[in-house]
Amino acid sequence: MQTLLLWLFYISSFYAFIPGLITRIFGFRVFRRGSTEHEYALTFDDGPDPQYTPQLLDLLKKYDAKATFFVVGSHAEQHPELVKRMYDEGHLIGIHNYVHKSNWLMRPATVTKQIMKTDKIIHSITGERSSYYRPPWGIVNLFDLNKKRSGKFKIVLWSAMFGDWRERIGADKLTERMLQKLHPGEVLLLHDCGTTAGANPDAPRQMLIALERVLEEAKRQGLKSIRVDDMIKAKENSPENKLPFSKLAIVRLWLLWEVAFHKMFRLKTVNPYDPMLHYRVRKYSGQKIELDDGTVLEKGDQVVELHFDNEKLFRFGVRSRSAVHLAIHLIRTMEKEFPALAQCILEDPKAMDAKTLYGVTMVNRGPEQFGFRIVDLKDGLFSRSSRLYLKFLLSVIHPSGQSRLKEQSQQLVPKMLLMPIGEFLERYAESGSHRHHHESRRRRNEQTEQNEPNDLNLTAQELESSTPAI
């Protein structure tokens, strides 16, 4: 019996668990997330539902939002008028099996029949075949990934789901969860039907309340919901898609580590809706330092430690035309982020009690224009490990990272960025004197960008060095 159970474990792992792991971590032959600047994707599973799908379509029409519906074939067969309305109103229709059953529990031939039967139903209603498939619960098996099937049907998973199939979550909690993931490129998973196994029949009511709030916020932020096929086309044409698969795999693993790091050390995000800066309050453990205003930083003092959002850095890097362009992106972003960071510090008692802002950077000239003091790191394990990490970071995000590492390896030494909390608040808090500095820097950077092709006085050596790898 024990041997039989062991063999069942081996077979199930090979058939579904390992393929599922590969698709989730590396995105192998599936689509999970886009790389758009101002668009995200709303996707809805399990419908159509005669009670909630019409309400959902009304809501999407009100906000001029396009969505992707992964329909259950048996539900589409029962409510063809709803599928026709989805199609007529410009939404994309995908396949979610004929019955809501996991591919883990079905033979490959059975899964194929489920997909083809649903495709035939969609074609009979709309006159078009579907090319997009989402397996129930996102569980793929080994045969879902073969070239024959993946060539005909694009498997679409998601980057964020919210448990909206449970009514007890409520609209308020659901709104909070969705707003945390309302970013460009996100593929949001929701459900317009609550009759499948494990769902609550009236859960879509809470989803609709939350969705209207999110659509309103998206409108305020200038974000637009688009169909999955449009997002896939945008990703295929994006600079990220031109990178080698090996580099993309490294980036994905690295970003998974970033997520784990943020959770382990409970980093706070300055702007959750468009994350770029994160921070935490911690004890300083380096050498004694006296700053220009007389502040003495000693071991054990509280500091506000700054961290860039490295996914945003990566996107900046691969989309930048040059090192100058990347630097300008970062400078402009910091000019927007620092006032928001100042407000976070004012509202955080622990941060207000800290002595200084603190970060570690590989390039050392640019941060001074923001008021930071650059201090050498004492040679040791932390310095050496920081150098290795920041070299890796630079090679990933920088338009010419590898060549710059080879050409200037001796100059790439990690150093500390420091600024007393009081001085930072004076510069950047809304009641402080930062506005004059901010406006003059903004005008200077706009002039620099206009002159970029011809003016080499502020080129890579000057502005490239202003890229703080915090």
Catalogue the active-site residues.
45, 191
Rg value, the chain, Cα: 25
3-class secondary-structure state, position 318: helix
Contact status, residue 19 vs residue 144, Cβ threshold 8 Å? yes
3-class secondary-structure state, position 235: helix
Pairing outcome for strands 187-191 and 39-45: parallel
> First CA to last CA across the chain, in angstroms?
55
CA distance 425 to 344: 11
Angle at 98 between CA 178 and CA 189, to 5 degrees: 5
Contact status, residue 71 vs residue 96, Cβ threshold 8 Å? yes
Q: Please, which residues bridge with residue 31 across strands?
A: 156
Helical segments of 158-244, H only: 170-180, 203-221, 228-236
DSSP 371-385: TPEEEEPPSSHHHHH
Phi first, then psi, for residue 302 (nearest 5°) are -80, 135
Task: Dig out the tokens for 310 from the structure.
Answer: 């490295």
Alpha-carbon distances, residue 19 vs 13, 25, 45 (angstroms):
8, 10, 22
The residue ranges of DSSP E strands in 386-427, in sequence order, are 415-420
Alpha-carbon distances, residue 172 vs 8, 12, 41 (angstroms):
42, 38, 21
CA distance 37 to 54: 30
Alpha-carbon distances, residue 222 vs 41, 110, 159, 203, 225 (angstroms):
14, 44, 20, 28, 10
Task: Dig out the tokens for 305 from the structure.
Answer: 């430690």
- The amino acid occupying position 365 is R
CA distance 421 to 468: 19
